[in-house]
């Protein structure tokens, strides 16, 4: 195997420094299989040659490698429970607090199925005339390009998108399905590295941060949760993946059981002020 322990260690260290993702021994085959296309596309005969080029601080090449190794698994209305929690618990709370558009951040959104699933959910659940804004983010420029296009092939729409939603919220675009304008006008996308200081962004009522923390070590998880909390409105809501929790990592978020899942609420303003005074 071309992926020697030393080469794997170098790549794993790079991915951890750039994206906070931990690649443990046993993932050598995954790393090699994902880097071979990158090596070929960038004119390198082997993954080893590609790794040597990385040592010269080629920022563009580093970005390509990191993007190739980040996980881009997604589907429509994944796990369902979070979307039920959004309509039954979160939206009534958000709507009672303000009349402005509902703002939601879909972090690490991959090719866009999650933010478009959120948009469909809001189209059905919000009262007439109530606006919404959804920001999707990802580390991969390729995933963001696909998300902005709002186009999905037949195989992709077959992974969890109900037929009624398909014909209502999408239109044919050749061999693909494209989100209708009234959906797309409410979505925006930008590159965000969750393991670095966040770029300027508005405050959100809800953040979807699902199936992301499982790839991070505790210290990185803690830092990411702290950054997310800073962009949530007081009393805002956080949704994590089924195998994720803030328990033992962040004591500020309040865990709220809902059905067969749990969601997390940021402190209200009064609690935030008390915390800030205590720290002073």
Q: Please give the CATH number for the structural domain made up of 80-273.
A: 3.40.50.150
Structural fold of domain 5-69: Chemotaxis Receptor Methyltransferase Cher; domain 1 (1.10.155)
Cβ–Cβ contacts within 10 Å for residue 167, how many? 11
Predicted local distance difference test score (pLDDT) of residue 278? 30
What's CA 155's distance to the chain center, in Å? 21
CA pair distance 256, 124, nearest whole angstrom: 24
By the 10 Å C-beta count (0-12 exposed, 13-18 middle, 19+ buried), 24 is classed as exposed
Are the C-beta atoms of residues 73 and 102 closer than 8 Å to each other?
Answer: no
- Please state the pTM of the whole predicted model: 0.80
CA pair distance 274, 224, nearest whole angstrom: 22
Nearest Cα residue to 224 out of 184, 182, 196, 183: 196
Predicted local distance difference test score (pLDDT) of residue 158? 92
68-84 burial string, b = 16+ CB within 10 Å, else e?
A: bbbebebebbbbebbbb
5-69 matches 80-273 in fold: no
Question: pLDDT tens string for the chain (280 positions)?
Answer: 467 788 788 888 888 877 777 777 777 777 788 788 888 888 888 887 887 787 776 677 877 777 777 766 688 999 899 999 999 999 999 999 999 999 999 999 999 999 999 999 999 999 999 999 999 999 888 899 999 999 999 999 998 999 999 999 999 999 999 999 999 999 999 999 998 899 999 999 999 999 989 888 899 999 999 999 999 999 999 999 988 999 899 999 999 999 889 999 999 864 443 343 333 2
Residue spans of the domains in the chain: they are: 5-69, 80-273
Tokens, residue 44: 């390198």
Report the alpha-carbon angle 11-14-145, nearest 5. Answer: 100
């Amino acid at each position: 195997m071309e992926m020697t322990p030393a080469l794997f260690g170098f790549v794993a260290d790079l991915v951890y420094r750039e994206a906070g993702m931990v690649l443990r021994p046993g993932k050598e085959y995954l790393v090699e299989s994902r880097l071979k296309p990158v090596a070929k596309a960038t004119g390198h005969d082997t993954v080893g040659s590609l790794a040597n080029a990385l040592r010269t601080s080629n920022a563009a090449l580093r970005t390509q490698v990191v993007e190739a190794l980040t996980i881009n698994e997604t589907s429509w209305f994944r796990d369902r429970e979070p979307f039920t929690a959004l309509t039954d618990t979160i939206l009534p709370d958000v709507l009672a607090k303000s009349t402005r558009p509902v703002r939601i951040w879909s972090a690490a959104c991959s090719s866009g199925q999650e933010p478009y699933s959120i948009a469909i959910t809001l189209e059905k659940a919000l009262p007439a005339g109530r606006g919404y804004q959804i920001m999707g983010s990802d580390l991969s420029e390729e995933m963001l390009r696909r998300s902005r296009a709002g186009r999905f092939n037949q195989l992709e729409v077959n992974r969890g998108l109900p037929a009624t939603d398909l014909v209502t919220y999408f239109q044919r675009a050749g061999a693909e399905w494209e989100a209708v304008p009234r959906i797309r006008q409410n979505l925006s996308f930008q590159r965000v590295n969750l393991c670095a200081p966040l770029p300027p962004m508005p405050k959100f009522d809800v953040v979807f941060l699902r199936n992301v923390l499982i790839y991070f070590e505790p210290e990185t998880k803690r830092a990411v949760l702290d950054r997310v909390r800073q962009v949530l409105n007081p009393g805002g809501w956080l949704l994590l993946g089924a195998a994720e929790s803030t328990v033992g990592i962040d004591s500020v978020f309040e865990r709220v059981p809902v059905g067969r899942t749990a969601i997390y609420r940021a402190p209200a303003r009064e609690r935030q002020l008390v915390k800030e005074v205590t720290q002073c």
